[in-house]
Chain A
Amino acid sequence: MEDAVDVRNLVKVYDGKIRALDGVDLKVKAGIAFALLGPNGAGKTTLIRILTTQLRPTSGDAYVFGLDVVREGGKIRRLVSYVPQEMSVWTDISGYENLLVYAKIFGISSQERKKTIDEALESMGLGEAANNLVKTYSGGMVRRLEIACALLIKPEIMFLDEPTIGLDPSAKKIVWEKLTSFKKEYGVTVFFNTHYMDEADLYSDQIAIIDKGKIVKLGSAEELKRSLGGEIITFSLTGNNISEASLKKLRELRFVRDVIVGKAEVSVLVEDAETALPDAIEILRIEKISPEKISITKPTLDDVFLKYAGSRLETSGRISEVAHVRDMIRRG
């Protein structure tokens, strides 16, 4: 079967200086949920905007179901649904009217229109609120309306840019339950951007980690975690930075697969933590480093991210900021 997305050496430079995408290569199979995971400014949104034909790439090629995003944009736009990160419905008309406007833009015939809209609203749990003005909706309802809108045409592929940003956990869960059942029912490919680790972990079949405009790692959540090895010993350090020499010694230990240095912490990837721990502590002791805390964990996507992108995903500040912006837009 044809790949849903095929991107080759894609580069996007804004204003001749900002290199948002720096040679992206990516293939996404049809019918899966695909997560593009990365920090702010990694190029996630730019990639989605190129794939949805809003922006032209500076160089390289991108295909959606074999169609070229530059030359066959019109054909692609008939196959895709897109939910931007920002709010994308009109707040001064009702939820039903929003969908009606889009149904007409998409050319859904007048006989089918009402049925299609009712179905989309119902599937997103908005049946009762359909005739209320969108400005009276909560953030979660607005997001569900946007997704209902994306479901109007039965798309081949849905592009969702941070689909659950700023939503509370229960609203988030509802959105994903709907998306997952929609994927199963119609075989739609779901391509989403996120910087929520748990979202990528729980709801995607495949994850690409993107950092500084490049895909740094690709695989399922399980594969990515397994690639790090058995267990992780994390030493939390206060103040005293660890020297290169002692890092080298740690790396040379028998059971150690890799050592990753983070902000005020050192993570040591090992086969088995219990056997490796005494030796590792010994090295730190010789170096006169006394860790504040030692923890042993199974690898998470966050650790995967740390290994391949060189930093942890810091999310909290960003989420409240976007939630705030969406809030302001809703209030008008």
Chain B
Amino acid sequence: MYDSFRNFFVMIELELRRLRHDRTELYFRAVQPILWIVIYGPVMGTARAIPTPGNISYTDFITPGVLIQSTTFLCIFYGLMMVWERDSGILKKLLVTPASRYATVIGRSMASGVRAMFQGLIIIPVALLIGVKFIPNVAYFVSAFVIIFFASGGFAAISILVASFMKTRERFMGIGQAIIMPLFFASNALYPIQMMPDALKYFSTVNPLSYVVDAARGLLITGDLSNLLIDVAAIAVFDIVLFILASISFKRIIE
């Protein structure tokens, strides 16, 4: 147990060290979300076609959604990268260390959360620059990032689960897109759930991304925390279920 916890923190430290040497990936990945909030948000906002809660500006409304889309994207690819580590010897070597293989799966998944938080920190200043009004409350801000961190692990685990069914790296790009885009568009990231057709509404209630966006939007922009407990509970369930499934499917990755 102690070994497993230690392993978990070492994986996070490893991620911080990699980031210290090279953050280029994060800068490039920030381009897309920045385009959403700098161009798409203001343009769509002038159309006033989408009702926003509390009449906040449309760009303010989508900022948390776009932020989380970009961190989720990163985590999905991070999980796929673990399968790439299978092709190299890293995963094999990690399996021959005293820590349990479940700690390896969960530790590696959560390490993606470190990357995700840094990604968020790159996007926030840009959002501030174009005038997105964040709630000036440090506790809220920190809470939002903690939630993003924990949710990230679950998304990385989704991709480990999916990747375990694949044998080649060439399929990664396509599969990454195929996971993230449905999650993004069938969530409350760009429009309130009330606007969706019924079928999509149902999907959106089981879409983990919706809960993460809802929590982040409440904490960063609207200050409406009435759903926060439900959001956090949903994310916790999501993480636990995905960690279990990914750990089971991990056996397939090893062989």
Which residues does A use to contact B, with CB under 8 Å? 14, 49, 52-55, 74, 77-78, 80-90, 92-94, 97, 101-102, 104-107, 133, 146, 149, 159, 329
Contact = CB atoms under 8 A, between A and B. Distances in A.
B146 interface: no
B125 to A, nearest CB: 25
Contacts of A102: 97
Contacts of A87: 88-90
Interface stretch (B6-14, B64-72, B181-189, B214-222): B6-14
Contact of A86 (B14, B88, B95): B88
Interface stretch (B15-23, B26-34, B196-204): B15-23
Contacts of B88: 86-88, 329
A94 B98 CA distance: 23
Contacts of B3: 107
A105 B17 contact: no
Contact of B10 (A92, A104, A133): A104
Pairs A-B, 6 closest by C-beta atoms: A88-B89, A84-B89, A86-B89, A82-B96, A88-B93, A84-B92
A106 B254 contact: no
A106 B98 contact: yes
Given A88-B90, A101-B10, A105-B10, A54 B96 contact: yes
20 contacts: A53-B95, A53-B96, A54-B254, A74-B98, A74-B100, A77-B98, A83-B93, A84-B92, A85-B89, A86-B89, A86-B92, A87-B90, A93-B14, A93-B17, A101-B14, A105-B6, A105-B99, A106-B97, A106-B98, A149-B93
B170 interface: no
Given A54-B254, A101-B13, A107-B98, A84 B93 contact: yes
Contact of A82 (B13, B21, B93): B93
Contacts of B90: 87-90
Given A90-B14, A90-B18, 12 more contacts: A52-B95, A54-B96, A74-B100, A77-B98, A84-B92, A87-B88, A88-B90, A89-B90, A101-B17, A104-B10, A106-B97, A107-B3
Given A101-B13, A105-B10, A86 B96 contact: no
Nearest to A92: B18
A86 B87 contact: yes
Contacts, number: 80
Given A104-B6, A107-B6, A92 B21 contact: yes
Contacts of B17: 93, 97, 101
Interface residues of B, number: 25
Contacts of B87: 86, 329
Interface of B: 3, 6-7, 10, 13-14, 17-18, 21-22, 87-90, 92-100, 254-255
Contact of B21 (A84, A104, A106, A133): A133
B195 to A, nearest CB: 43
Given A74-B98, A78-B98, A106-B98, A55 B255 contact: yes
A89 B89 CA distance: 8
Main secondary structure of the interface of B (DSSP, over half): helix
Nearest to B86: A86
Contacts of A53: 95-96
A168 B97 CA distance: 30
Nearest to A81: B96
Contacts of A101: 10, 13-14, 17
Most chain A Cβ neighbours within 10 Å, of B94, B96, B255: B96
B92 A88 contact: yes
Nearest to A94: B21
A172 B4 CA distance: 36
Given A87-B88, A101-B13, A93 B93 contact: no
Contact of A77 (B13, B14, B92, B97): B97
Contacts of A54: 92, 95-96, 254
Contacts of B100: 74
A77 B4 CA distance: 14
A82 B22 CA distance: 28
Contacts of B96: 52-54, 77, 80-82, 159
A106 B93 CA distance: 12
